[in-house]
Amino acid sequence: MDLTRNQRTIAASAVVEGVGYWSGRDVRVEFRPAPAGTGIVFVRGDLPDCPRIPATIQYCVEIPRRTVLQRGPASVEMVEHIMASLAGLQIDNCEVWVNQPEMPGCDGSSQPFVEALYAAGAVEQGALRGRRVVRYPIRLGSDESWIEARPCASGKMILHYELDYGSGSPIGRQSLEISLSPRHFHLNLAPSRTFLLESEAAAIQAQGLGQRATVKDLLVFGSRGLIDNRLRFPDECVRHKMVDMVGDLALAGCDLAGRFVAYRSGHRLNATLVRAIAAQADTHCGLKHCA
């Protein structure tokens, strides 16, 4: 089955505004159409000369609890929900102009970005989209948390996530497997929101961070369950972990074909897998790269 496709960009510009969860600053994001071969590029419009940061694994730096890209002194952080929205809708070329280093948290999900991109529309471009096919297994991590990529007979991108906070936690254990497609992402993943434990939220705010975020802006779980909010899906937490996974794997800069399985994986392990995939492709060990 030939699953190659043409690259796509948005048909018109789109704007999303909100507040950065960590910094508490007001943020404006403008998605702009881009020519074939551009990829996803963040542009810091608030800095001199408007530095450009390609959204590829080469520029990913490790910061706890979020995905950060840095090129020279310029950086952008909390990019995972934007990256997931673009990848989930198969938008391959786009300039993301921002006026702050941190992306807006909005409601903690990818939904506001997806809605803006849908309203802008998409157009097919003349060039083919790059694609990497997993030929041999890659597994990274430990018994406590791991992620792996395996061949997939269908040639599609299959994602499986195992979330495990233990039987005594209000979050508990959840699992989900999907075959990624724009429709499935839009309806079943994009609305799922960021979550954390009440103890984690208290520790973050004790550091002077997240001062404008409340339990209405994301999911906070106390000892008795969700605090002053309602779930959009019974398994919303694992769905959100899969959104993060989609956004982080998009740093490969091409379509990925394989079965990707994660157990308690986070941004660091997700990014490490993308680096391993890129390294295998460069050495022609186990992956086929179609330009």
Helix/strand/coil (H, E, C) string of the chain? CCCCCEEEEECCCEEEEEECCCCCCEEEEEEEECCCCCCEEEEECCCCCCCEEECCHHHEEEECCEEEEEECCEEEECCHHHHHHHHHCCCCEEEEEECCCECCCCCCCCHHHHHHHHHHCEEEEEEECCEEEECCCEEEECCCCEEEEECCCCCCEEEEEEEECCCCCCCCEEEEEEECCHHHHHHHHCCCCCEEEHHHHHHHHHCCCCCCCCCCCCEEEECCEECCCCCCCCCHHHHHHHHHHHHHHHHHCCEEEEEEEEECCCHHHHHHHHHHHHHHHHHCCCEEEEC
Is 160 catalytic? The answer is: no
* Residue 184: both structure tokens together: 């499935």
**Strand pairing class (219-222; 225-226):** antiparallel
Closest CA to 95 of 86, 104, 106, 107: 86
Given 186, 267, 284, 289, which residue is catalytic? Answer: 267
Phi-psi region at 200: left, alpha or beta (left = phi > 0; alpha = psi -120 to 50): alpha
* Residue 277: both structure tokens together: 């995939």
Contact present, 82 and 53 (Cβ < 8 Å): no
Residues serving a catalytic function are 267
